[in-house]
Structure 1
Amino acid sequence: MKEYILILPIIFIFHDMEEVVGFGYFFKKNPDLYDRFPRVMKAYRNFKTEGFVAAVYEEFIPFFGVSLLAYYFPNKVLISMWYGLFLALAGHFIIHIGQTIYLKKYIPSFITSLICLPVSVSILLRCTRVMDFDLVTILTIALSIILMMFNLKLAHKLAHFVNGRMHIEENVMR
């Protein structure tokens, strides 16, 4: 199982680079999404790549940190946290694939989601075969997924903060 642990942050970065490169252009070319999905798109108002990059970096920290800890200090809790993070990321891929199907148009994240989902499922299934799913493991996995959901909210707040700071600095420089 140890041979898979450091693949998690690599898959995360591979996927998120497609988002970083493509979302600015995507939002500019699809302004109708703000009217069609106001509640969802509220998180992406005043989108700037710099804010998004800050959010991606913030999200990367737990993926990288937990993976390193689980690799160098393997124990039930760290491995379970890692597994929960991997499950959360696989769920993220499924959401992006669903969004693309629903919108009937390419969303930056779709291609890497198609590539990364089967790889992630394969790794998760292989790890499932060797893990002991007792109460501690199940609770730790669930807690990791919940924490990543909260972390996503934090990442969005960070993106808005960075975008707001950039807006202030742009106005000062004029």
Structure 2
Amino acid sequence: MDKREQIIMAAMKLLVERGIQATPMSAIAKAAGTGMGTIYNYFATKEDLINAIYLHIKTSEINQTLKNIPADASVKSKFLGYYTSFVTFYLKFPESFTFIDQMQNSPVIKEETKIIGKNALLPVYELIIKGQQDGIIKKYEIESMLNFLGGTITTFVRWRLGNNNIDAENQLEQQLKMVWDAVKD
């Protein structure tokens, strides 16, 4: 892990635990094992650091998702694979989930950052559009569908993180069936 990533990971942990206002850059520097000057070499402001964390998470989640899905899989298999991969990513990295959950609609996240994050999801957009063109997925407006899917992922992950005593495999299987039933044409 390079110094920039060390700073991002330390900052994410502190921001999730303490919040933006209660997390000074000096605390981030200490947690990252670096000096303030080093942080400012990478990030001009706390807002820039927060936006970098957001993009780091979005890039990480889509990279994991894409590596787990065979290119020649059916639309349904890819869809369920994407969904499962997003859930798995956030269950594996709960601080990333909490950060995104807290910051998704925050004014601290710049519009430019949101656009870059959305562009990372281009393969998901393309899959849904292909599924719609092939008559496999309902022809709802793409943004509405992605908001619906994002909401189901967020709610499911939040529930799973708060309930360790559930039959996780069975619950994910049921979730996948419900989501697929909701979007299939």
Q: Same fold (TM over 0.5)?
A: no
Q: Which has the higher helix share?
A: 1
- Smaller-chain TM-score range? 0.3 to 0.5
TM-score if structure 1 supplies the norm length?
0.34
TM-score if structure 2 supplies the norm length?
0.32
